[in-house]
Chains A and B, each alone.
Chain A
Amino acid sequence: MDNLRKKAKELLESKTVDLVIGYENGTNGKARAVFIKDPEKTGKLIYDDRCKQNLAVYLNKHEVKHYGKIAIVAPLMVMRSVLVLVSECQLKPENIVVLGIGEDGSLLDFPSLEVVEKYIAKIPLGNPEPDQVIIDKLNAMSMEQRREFWQNELERCFKCYACRAACPMCYCLRCTVECNQPQWISAPAHPLGNLEWHQLRTMHLTGRCVSCGDCGRACPLNIPIHLLTMQQAEEAFHMFGVRAGTSQKADSALSTYKPDDKENFIL
């Protein structure tokens, strides 16, 4: 933690970055995002098991972008999200400093995104084990049982869109659910509208999801919607051999066409 604070302070003092995004102690024992401009305030930074939010979600926020060059405290999911955002031209590599956090919580030295790519290449990627256990159980069900499971879960959704807001990859200025000419999917939070919304969200994240689970954590109604995108992350890997957030180059499973693809069409 001391190394992290020291490094953040140096970056701000030397004006290498204009803003540091990290975690601080929040209310009622929670950890939360903090935005630091003043080098003297870097003592607020913390890193421990409570730091679960995928901070990359802020990199596309208007007010945050406005600050200029940003250093971001980055456990694995944040590193991967940064690479997805760079590959999708949402973030310029020269505007970001990754304050990598290793699996043991130590600060990693990442002078460039190439080093981040090399670091990620050495780490076994996949869904967090507790989530994968549930996904395997769902996959073992019959299609009818699975449909019933999801209908029961999704029916409760009231469309607060916390799942969308929490996701660094859901950065569209106008989401499909808000397009009404034509209306692609039903806006009201009835069972059909909810099913359509979550299917759409899942499809748009296929091959782009880094399995951080923030959509599920954000849901105030405890609907395990992260299982949908996580399942698709595995599916995309098995079908196309790519994992999101491993390279700065665009190589998204569903939106990149290669002449040697198995299919002769793109979605």
Chain B
Amino acid sequence: MTPETKIIDRVALDKLYESLKAAGNKMFAPVFRNEQTDFEYNPSAAEISYSHIQTTQSVKNTVFPKIENLFRFESGQKSVELVQIDFTKVPRVIVWNAHPCDAAAFSALDAVFNWDYVDEIYNARREKLVVIGMSCIKADENCFCTSVDLGPGSVKGSDILLTPLANGKFIAEILTDLGKSIADENASLFTASNGENKEEVLAKVEKHFSHEKVTENLKDGFENPFWHEFSLRCIGCGACAYVCPICTCFDIQDESKAGNGRRLRCWDSCGFGMFTLHTSGHNPREVQSQRWRQRLMHKFSYQPDRNEFIGCVGCGRCSRACPVDMNILEQLVELEKIEVAAK
């Protein structure tokens, strides 16, 4: 569809939120609590934060929750019965006030969960997902969306993208049929646009590196001393992967009692020492530098190669969450400069 632009004021925006919530949608919106801003299900309109730069966690939870029930099993005397979960019953979720980096990340998740195996539960959740994005008028030193082909006002992935104006109103770009149906159903809340220009209010995010050059350097950079030197500080936790909007590695766990139980898909991280431990006892990624290399290689070499996208949207969450200052932007800037020995 051809995108349309309208205007909505803050009072009407709150009304839109409450009306979508009242209609039975599960709303996922950022709230300031525990000294940080993070997404929660169904807060009231008054609780929603519009002033934060970035939430601690991404919105991948909506389609790839930290624990997903895959099926249940019940043991009889001689057989085990599998009880499938009815994925058609997943609720419609509306991600409210997600920044453009988060909205854009869904296309990367779509590619991963449909790459060699079409993931039924992921797709069931994704089909019911609506993304109401919010352009960034503020950024911090960890943000680098413009270095990975995105920007503070990118429309990619949003059904409606809002941009806050200085006068307290919002530009609403209605981008998809889904977005249009929401706008049409609530037409009285929107007013006509007067040609307001969102570029004037967007945050200025400097371009720090060329991701093409990083990807090129990584091709021959597997044995580069960079990895050892830049990962000595890494303590091998999973904070970076868990807050990342694109990291999708998972672990399968069975939980059962007396033969009855359920199979679960839980988040996992390539930073963990046991991530690639083989049954034989051999671990191809024996030390942390190899695990850290995997994280950056996957995002900036393997994924561009295999799925034709960069596995990073420049949200900066991993840098903010890291307890030991493994700053991904600093490292990517260095990776752009490393000397790669000619073959």
Taking Cβ atoms with an 8 Å cutoff, the residues of A that contact B are 26-28, 30, 32-35, 53, 57-58, 61-64, 156, 158-162, 164-166, 173-174, 178, 186-190, 214, 217-218, 220-223
Q: Which residue of A lies closest to B236 (CB)?
A: A165
In the bound complex, do residue A53 and residue B324 qualify as a contact, i.e. CB atoms below 8 Å apart?
Answer: yes
Shortest CB distance A176–B (Å): 13
Given known pairs A165-B235, A187-B253, A188-B253, the reply for A220 and B324 (CB within 8 Å) is no
Q: Which of B142, B235, B242 has the most CB of A within 10 A?
A: B235
Q: Which residue of A lies closest to B319 (CB)?
A: A27
In the bound complex, do residue B255 and residue A220 qualify as a contact, i.e. CB atoms below 8 Å apart?
Answer: no
Contact with A along B231-257 (1 / 0, CB 8 A): 111011111011100000001010100
Interface of A is mostly: loop
Q: Which residues of A contact B287 (CB under 8 A)?
A: 62-63
Shortest CB distance A217–B (Å): 6
A234-B158 Cα distance, complex, nearest whole Å: 52
- Judge if B19 is at the interface, Cβ distance under 8 Å: no
- Judge if B51 is at the interface, Cβ distance under 8 Å: no
Shortest CB distance A84–B (Å): 17
In the bound complex, do residue A160 and residue B242 qualify as a contact, i.e. CB atoms below 8 Å apart?
Answer: yes
Given known pairs A27-B325, A220-B56, the reply for A188 and B266 (CB within 8 Å) is yes
Q: Which residues of B contact A166 (CB under 8 A)?
A: 235, 237, 323-324
A235-B307 Cα distance, complex, nearest whole Å: 54
In the bound complex, do residue A188 and residue B67 qualify as a contact, i.e. CB atoms below 8 Å apart?
Answer: yes
Q: Which of B228, B255, B288 contacts A186 (CB 8 A)?
A: B255
Q: Which residues of B contact A160 (CB under 8 A)?
A: 237-239, 241-242, 269
Given known pairs A63-B287, A158-B242, A222-B36, the reply for A33 and B267 (CB within 8 Å) is no
In the bound complex, do residue A189 and residue B66 qualify as a contact, i.e. CB atoms below 8 Å apart?
Answer: yes
Shortest CB distance A33–B (Å): 5
Q: Which residues of A contact B42 (CB under 8 A)?
A: none
Q: Which residues of A contact B319 (CB under 8 A)?
A: 27
Given known pairs A166-B323, A220-B56, the reply for A161 and B237 (CB within 8 Å) is yes
Q: Which residue of B lies closest to A162 (CB)?
A: B237
Given known pairs A158-B66, A189-B267, A222-B36, the reply for A30 and B325 (CB within 8 Å) is yes
In the bound complex, do residue A27 and residue B327 qualify as a contact, i.e. CB atoms below 8 Å apart?
Answer: yes
- A-B CB proximity, top 9 nearest: A218-B323, A165-B237, A162-B237, A220-B321, A32-B325, A160-B238, A26-B325, A165-B235, A27-B327
Shortest CB distance A52–B (Å): 10
Q: Which residue of A lies closest to B321 (CB)?
A: A220
Q: Which residues of A contact B321 (CB under 8 A)?
A: 220
Q: Which residues of A contact B286 (CB under 8 A)?
A: 62
Given known pairs A63-B228, A161-B238, A188-B253, the reply for A26 and B327 (CB within 8 Å) is yes
Supply 28 A–B pairs (Cβ within 8 Å), ascending by A. Answer: A28-B327, A35-B232, A35-B233, A53-B323, A58-B232, A63-B287, A64-B232, A159-B267, A160-B242, A161-B238, A162-B237, A162-B238, A162-B239, A162-B323, A164-B237, A165-B323, A166-B323, A173-B273, A174-B274, A186-B255, A187-B266, A188-B264, A190-B67, A218-B237, A218-B323, A220-B56, A221-B36, A221-B56
